[in-house]
Amino acid sequence: MDQAPILTITLNPALDISTSAARVVPDVKLRCEAPTFDPGGGGINVSRAIRNMGGDSTALVALGGSTGQRMAGMLEAAGIRLLTLPAPGETRQSLTADDRAARQQFRFVMPGPEWSDADVARALELATRSATKGGLVVLSGSNPPGVPASFAAMLAESLQGHGARLIVDTSGEALATVATARDRRVEILRMDDEEAEGLAGRSLPYRADTAGFAASLVASGAARGVIVARGRDGNIIATDEGIWHAEAARVPIVSKVGAGDSFLAGFTLGYARGWPVADALGLAAAAASATVQTPATELCRAEDVERLFAARMITEMRV
């Protein structure tokens, strides 16, 4: 199926280690199951999920040290086209541990290496040079220490002359910086409901509240489209063309790791294929629901996405 080129960017990747124990308790040695290892980080997960759904992307990833070398080999073995940017230190690791008795999941995320201004400039230059005219660039995940909160805005400005469209999924100060933009250089901005409430400075208990806030960000120029994930209550997107809500499928939850990244992958892939916004949102919701049914850091499976997409429920909203 034809699609526009997709470039994903991961500045702060991690080697994801997953295991489980009978119980997770303090002060004793925990006898764990044999671990599984996956290359992780926002943009990496987006590329992995896009490939699972039959799409194609290039992953630009900052990698360093022996962990970075290991991740590069894993990505290449998975068939993901890889562009590497030398990271200023060892690539971080993260640990997910399941408590089987309590059916709870614990996630331990380490910080990445400290970046200098020169590292930031190199990343910005390579990302801009690697973007394709008419393509999509996905900046997803946290910023490493030393990378300014304005990086997404800097990238959006740099991409303006290249004809590429930027999709941003970030958090904290970086998200707040994008949300205050007035130039619509960002194509799509995604956040969850807690982040939306933080930006709004008030609670958004109802779908109409979320839809109104998302529409206000579009109107103010933060992005051409704004997506807010409301967890089990589904997802909302606002654009100049309208506002839509996608129901979240009622599926058994095994692990939530990577669900947000899979959502972004589904939307990006649908968007790259030229689908209507509502259908791209439906593919996103299907990918997220498919991912929560898989264990540990495994992402969506194509057959599950196809089944859930066929049963999608998308509603146009009025506010």
Q: Please identify every residue annotated as catalytic.
A: 261
Query: What's at 94, amino acid-wise?
Result: S
Q: How many CB atoms lie within 10 A of CB 84?
A: 17
How many helices (H) and strands (E) the chain has is answered by 10, 14
Helix (H, G, I), strand (E, B) or coil at 284: helix
**Tokens at residue 292, please?**
């929560």
For 90, 198, 204, the CA distances from 13, given in Å and listed in that order, are 10, 25, 31
Alpha helix stretches (DSSP H) within the chain: 42-52, 65-77, 117-130, 151-159, 172-179, 193-200, 207-220, 259-272, 277-291, 302-310
Measured distance CA(167)–CA(190) in Å, rounded = 8
